């Protein structure tokens, strides 16, 4: 199943179905609701929920959203106001059971397992948020920085090897998603 949501009309308002590129992988039990767009080579893994009901969620090319992650948007602060979308760029890795809420993850950034990125927060290109970290509203992880803790704070600059590992992770998950999308068996995995 590509999504557990279809186009429908409620209260004279058209509600759109998620838009998924044919070369993306969506796990059968992932839930994508309404205004969600998934780009080529992206992968959304088991038990993820992406709920674009009051704003947009955009997942970039070759990005992976790992098992159990929740992605949501923020409602308008006042009547007639604008919602705050969640935008995830290209080549991003989001670890298992993370929470992304009304935030931006720039291209080639990394969010560790069980980390939380709150409203208006941003992880810049080559930025890394450690596993279990809480990035509070409006905070920005700079390019080439590692932030950790609750609340998260800058711990140090990333090494060149760690920055390269961000790219490697995205590539591994792109390949893994391709294998799942094509229905290859365990024995076939890794053989082209």
Q: What is the pLDDT of residues 43-85, one digit of tens each?
A: 999 999 999 999 999 999 999 999 999 999 998 877 677 779 9
Each residue of 91-116: pLDDT tens digit? 999 999 999 999 999 999 999 999 99
Cβ contact 142:154 at 8 Å? yes
Q: What are the tens digits of pLDDT across the range 10-26? A: 444 556 889 999 999 99
- pLDDT of 192 above 50: no
58 contacts: CB under 8 Å, gap ≥ 6: 37, 39, 85, 86, 87, 88
Separation CA 96–CA 111 (nearest Å): 9
Whole-number Å distance between alpha carbons of 114 and 117? 10
> For residues 127 and 92, what is the distance between their CA atoms, to the nearest angstrom?
10
| Burial label, 186 (beta-carbon count in 10 A; 0-12, 13-18, 19+) | exposed
């Amino acid at each position: 199943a590509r999504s557990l949501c279809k186009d429908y009309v409620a209260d004279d308002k058209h509600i759109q179905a998620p838009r998924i590129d044919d070369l993306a992988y969506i796990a059968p039990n992932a839930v994508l609701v309404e205004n969600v767009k998934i780009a080529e080579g992206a992968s959304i893994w088991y038990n993820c929920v992406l709920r674009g009901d009051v704003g947009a969620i955009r997942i970039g090319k070759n990005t992976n959203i790992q098992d159990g992650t929740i992605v949501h948007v923020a409602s308008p602060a006042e009547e007639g106001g604008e919602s705050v979308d969640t935008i995830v760029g290209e080549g991003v890795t989001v670890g298992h059971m993370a929470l992304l809420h009304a935030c931006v993850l720039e291209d080639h950034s990394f969010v560790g397992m069980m980390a939380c990125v709150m409203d208006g927060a941003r992880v810049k290109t080559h930025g890394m948020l450690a596993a279990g970290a809480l990035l509070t509203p409006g905070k920005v992880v700079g390019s080439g920085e590692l932030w950790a803790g609750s609340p998260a704070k800058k711990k140090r600059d990333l090494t060149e090897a760690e920055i390269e590992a961000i790219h490697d992770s995205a590539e591994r998950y792109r390949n893994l998603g391709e294998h799942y999308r094509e229905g290859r068996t365990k024995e076939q995995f890794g053989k082209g």
